[in-house]
Structure 1
Amino acid sequence: MVTLVPPQMAAKQIIAARVAKELKNGDVVNLGIGLPTMVPNYLPEGVNVILQSENGYVGLGPVTVEDPDLVNAGGQPAGVIPGAAFFDSGFSFELIRGGHVDVTVLGGLEVDEHGNIANWMVPGKMVPGMGGAMDLVTGAKKVIVAMEHCTKKGGSKILEQCTLPLTGKGVVDVIVTEIAVFRVTKEGLVLEELQEGVTLEEAKEKTEATFIVSPNLV
């Protein structure tokens, strides 16, 4: 019997695997909730990163035994690796705001060609606020947005201009979707890669934002 991978999960796996290639050995990395937490599963051989959780520790690892007092920033069970360190929320945000996080990987509701990101207010739903995302996108040295290319209704999530309240302005460095990889540059949004099986025409059709096609497009 063949078990088919749900299309949505396949897309998320493609995204997580590509994001993992952006990370370097020794990076201190903060992962957002949801899709970004899959990234460590795809780290290349020889690349070890230090995962930081904004609720107060570094050294996240796989769950071996569930402990109700040990969760990640999304409230999910978490584990720790040897050498992990715990601290209060104030110190955690000193690390983030002080520029000690090399990379943050976040999901996104909307990203635009100017490097703006909106990822905290879901239309029609009550939310308590943007949480630590506003600190991460300004404090981390590199901001990677890992998200599916289109909304559930088929609309582009990579826009000319964000319509939702912004989490950060001009802060995004890289956008990775199941369709393509974009980098935000001073010249504009640059399409650097197409995921396997995706054509340039498809990428153009599904992307509202204006973008430059890299001469080295893979």
Structure 2
Amino acid sequence: MAKAHALPHTPWARPLAGLLARLRRRGKRAPSPIASLGPGWAVVRGRARAGSNARRAPISGRLGLGWRVLVERECGVRGWEPVVDLCEFVNFELQDPSGSICVRACDCPIVIEVAERRGRGGPFAPPPFVVAQLIARAAREPSAVQGVLFHKGFRWREWVLEAGSEILVRGRVISEPGDESTGYRALTEVLVLAGGTTRPLELTE
């Protein structure tokens, strides 16, 4: 079972990934039919279909194929600093009129811009209890959380991919062994969509 995992805490990594994702989208590369895909980077539009158990987003409680939560605190001239950055996904099927392909989302770096909800707080506007819990868990020491909650401004965002949503996926098509073999032959090869070592899997509307 996939578990929520903290994304690497590199101050420039997430803003840079988001910037690169936006620049690539401006290229307006047309989506390819799933049936025509081959190994390499691709853009595909289709509907996300459940492949296994749903995941419940921690702030809103929405059910979906995956979610990401980002909580940031205000740091003066430095802008906003991530305090919590969690992501949990299951693998799912992406379907279009030409066919379907598995999206390997459970263990890939992901940039998601789907069904966003957000909120803000500050010294006189405490966060929802669940947001405070997420910060406390990330800080590991409740005494260290007080400065985050009551002496700084903060904001949080939550993205959820719901089953049946039509999305645009940018990722790398790779070949993996399938689940079935034919006689004495080796396992058949299947194509899946995944993220790469230098580029995350991108899910947008």
TM class, shorter-chain normalised? under 0.3
Q: Normalising by structure 2, what TM-score? A: 0.22
Higher relative CO (CA 8 A, sep ≥ 6), structure 1 or 2? 2
TM-score, length of structure 1 as denominator length: 0.22
Q: Which has the higher strand share?
A: 2
